[in-house]
Amino acid sequence: MSEKALDEWRRGAKRGPAKLLLQYLDAQGIQLGRDPVEIGLTEPILYNGGVTGCWIDGQARTNVTGLYALGDVASGTAIRGINGAICAGWRAGANGARVAAEFGARNIDVEAVARERERVLAPSTGGAASGQRNWKGNSTTS
């Protein structure tokens, strides 16, 4: 790609959703035209084109304070594929870190976290969480 074409792309990228990709590339010191960048050609309508998942704002925030969502669980994202993942992850991570810093340190009940982890992962590890039912509606615990 010529320098003129790259400059034109950068000018356009600053005005649209690709500005996040541009910010990420700049922060990482990656220069299009110099550094190899993996690009996947996709049909955007195949990616989360409907109303699915939870709605997020431009900062990847959900309507639950302090909870961010990305990828397949989020709906309404403006850009998709690897470029969208990089940009959205970068933005959500930065905002999540800012919010975490505002909240400060918290005491975490490590045992409660371990119990919840075991409960959530039980179906994928051959176990069953208390009160769960299988697809037939039968209790999975004795």
The string of pLDDT tens digits covering residues 45-79 is: 444 444 556 778 878 888 888 788 877 677 555 55
Give pLDDT, residue 112: 92
- 82 vs 38: CA distance, rounded Å: 9
**79 vs 2, which has greater pLDDT?**
2
| pLDDT higher than 70, residue 16 | yes
Report DSSP letters for 14-75, one per residue: TTSTTHHHHHHHHHHT--TTTS--------GGGTT-SS-SEE--TT-B-SSTT-B--GGGEE
Give pLDDT, residue 49: 47
The string of pLDDT tens digits covering residues 82-134 is: 666 777 788 888 888 888 888 877 788 899 999 888 887 877 776 665 666 66
Give pLDDT, residue 114: 92
Q: At what angle do helices 3-13 and 19-28 cross, to 10 degrees?
A: 120
Give pLDDT, residue 129: 58
